[in-house]
């Protein structure tokens, strides 16, 4: 008869699926789980302190240093993505599908934008022969629907 200490986790989390899928090996501590859960249930690309505040609601003892640490480990394992806009604080994103970020310069909202079906990015810019491209970082700036409507 399973006791509290031996019961298995309630259900495979998105995190576990993700780890299996990616063959990532990070120790899955309770804190890292919490940080991931917060991020996976956010669509607004929170900063480290945003994540800190949200995790704190459920785990008041966690420290900001640990949040930074968790975000760093989850990121380098490829389980989440770090997002940079201009020189603002780093934001984090749990969406692993190929996508870019739209930033509304009026309200500050950051939303995901996915590439159209027929999109091959590498061929649109002229690079010196021999250059190897590994990754592109694309941010689109403008005004979101709601803000555009207001003006």
Partner DNA sequence: ATGTAAAATTAGAATCATTCCAATTCTAAT
Partner DNA sequence: ATTAGAATTGGAATGATTCTAATTTTACAT
Which one of DNA, Zn ion, a second copy, none interacts with residue 128, CB within 5 to 8 A by kind?
a second copy
CB of 44 to DNA, least distance (A): 15
- Give the integer Cα–Cα distance in Å for 96 and 119: 17
CB of 72 to a second copy, least distance (A): 13
- Give the integer Cα–Cα distance in Å for 17 and 33: 13
Q: Of the ranges 25-33, 95-103, 108-116, 118-126, which one interacts with DNA (CB under 7 A)?
A: 25-33
- Give the integer Cα–Cα distance in Å for 94 and 151: 32
Return the residue matching tokens 């692993």: 96
69: region left, alpha or beta (phi > 0 left; psi from -120 to 50 alpha): alpha
**Does residue 47 bind Mn ion (CB under 5 A)?**
no
**Does residue 27 bind a second copy (CB under 8 A)?**
no
- Give the integer Cα–Cα distance in Å for 38 and 57: 11
CB of 34 to DNA, least distance (A): 9
CB of 11 to a second copy, least distance (A): 32
Which one of Zn ion, Mn ion, DNA, none interacts with residue 104, CB within 5 to 8 A by kind?
Zn ion
Positive or negative torsion for Cα 87, 68, 59, 80: positive
**Does residue 138 bind a second copy (CB under 8 A)?**
yes
**Does residue 136 bind a second copy (CB under 8 A)?**
yes
Which residue, 92, 55, 63, is CA-closest to 76?
92
List residues near Mn ion by CB under 5 A.
93, 95, 112
List residues near a second copy by CB under 8 A.
84, 86-87, 90, 100, 102, 105, 111, 113-116, 119, 121, 123-145, 148-149
């Amino acid at each position: 008869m399973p006791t509290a200490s031996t019961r298995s986790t309630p259900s495979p989390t998105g995190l576990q699926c993700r780890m299996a899928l990616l063959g990532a090996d990070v120790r899955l501590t309770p804190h890292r789980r919490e940080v991931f859960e917060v991020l996976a249930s956010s669509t607004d690309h929170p900063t480290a302190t945003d994540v800190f505040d949200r995790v704190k609601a459920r785990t008041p003892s966690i420290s900001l240093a640990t949040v930074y640490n968790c975000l760093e480990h989850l990121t380098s394992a490829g389980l989440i993505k770090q997002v940079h806009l201009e020189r603002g604080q780093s934001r984090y994103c749990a969406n692993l599908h190929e996508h870019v970020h739209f930033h509304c310069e009026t309200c500050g909202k950051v939303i995901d934008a996915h590439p159209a079906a027929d999109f091959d990015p590498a061929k649109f810019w002229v690079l010196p022969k021999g250059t190897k491209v590994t990754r592109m970082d694309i941010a689109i700036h403008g005004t979101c629907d709601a803000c555009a409507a207001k003006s």
